Amino acid sequence: MKPFSRIISGTMTWGDWGKKLSLSEMQVLIEKSFNYGVSTFDHADIYGGYTTEADFGNAFKTCSIDRENVQFITKCGIQMPCEARPLNVKYYDYSSSHIRLSVENSLRNLKTEYIDLLLLHRPSPLMEASEICDVFYKLKEEGKVNQLGVSNFTTSQIKLLQKEISLNWNQIECSLSHETPLFNGVLDYLKTQNIGVMSWSPLGIYFKSDLPKKIRIKKVITPLCKKYNCSEAQILLAWLLQHPSKIYPVIGTTSSDRIKKAIEATKINLDLTDWFLLLEASMGKPLP
C-alpha cells in the first residue's frame, strides 16, 4: 500500500453537510487535490446523512486517476438518526454484523474493491475487542480492508483493543487551539506504540471564533506570516506538522487554492522559539 499523503483531504463538507458539490465539481476537486499532492481522502459512512460516500464514488469514477494511486479512509460505528435512518436514538454499534455491513456499503458507495483504512468512529462503552478483531481479520483476509484504526479514542480505550488487535492509526482532535493531546499522554502513547496520528480540525477555532485564545494567537501569528511569507492557516498547519508524532492533518476545505497552500505548509520549518511562542499564546500562560 502506498503511504498516505502528508495532507489528507476530509470530505465531510463536500456533500449535503456543506457545499453540496455537484458530481463535476467533486471530480475537479479530486483531480486538483491529487495534482497538488493530496492522494488520501477521508470519509465516514454518516457524512451527508449517509450520502457523501456515494457522491464521492460517482465523482471518482469519472476521474482519470488510478485507484492504486489514492487511499480511501472511512469510518463506521455511529448509528445516526436521519432521513436515511429514522432511528429513535443515536448510538454506536461495533457488532461484527454491523461492521461488515458498513464496510460492504462503503465499498459499494466508493466504487472500490478495498478500503485502505477503516476507523472505528467513536468509542463505545459496549464494544467487544474480540468481536471487532475477528471481523476485521476476516475482512482483511478477503482483501476488503487493509488497515484498522480508531478515531477519538483515549489511551485506555486503545489499550483495551490492543489486547486483541494491532491498530495502525488514531484520528483525534488536535491543533494549536486544542493542544490537550500534547499533555494528556495520548500522543506519547501513540508514538511508543508506532500508531500513526491524524488530526481532524487541524486549524482549530482560529477561523471560527473571536475567543480570547484566538485573539492571543493572532497577535503572535500576524508577524510570523511576514517572517515566513505565508498565510495564517499555513502557520497553524506548520506548527502541527512540526510535532515529532508526525501528525497528519485532515483538512476540510473544498477550495483547491487552500489545498495547494496546505501542501506548501509542509515545507515551512518554524524556529523553535516561534513554535513555543504560539503554544504559549494558545495556553494563555508560560510553560511551567
Bridge-based pairing of strands 40-42 and 71-76 is parallel
d(CA 25, CA 90): 32
Q: Among this protein's residues, is 47 annotated catalytic?
A: yes
d(CA 148, CA 141) in angstroms, rounded, equals 13
Residue 52 in contact with residue 97, Cβ under 8 Å?
no
Burial class (CB in 10 A: 0-12, 13-18, 19+), 168: middle
Q: Which residue shows C-alpha cell 470530505?
A: 11
Q: Give the integer Cα–Cα distance in Å for 231 and 210.
A: 18
Grid coordinates representing 44 are 465516514
Sequence-distant (≥ 6) Cβ neighbours of residue 272 within 8 angstroms: none
Between the CA atoms of 35, 38, 43 and 49, what dihedral angle is there, to the nearest 10 degrees? -50
Any idea of the CA torsion for 13, 15, 16, 17, to the nearest 10 degrees? Answer: -10
- Give the end-to-end CA distance of the chain in Å, rounded to a whole number: 43
Catalytic choice (36, 47, 94, 206): 47
- Report phi then psi at 78, rounded to 5: -85, 130
70: Cβ contacts below 8 Å, ≥ 6 apart: 34, 39, 40, 41, 60
Q: Which residues are catalytic?
A: 47
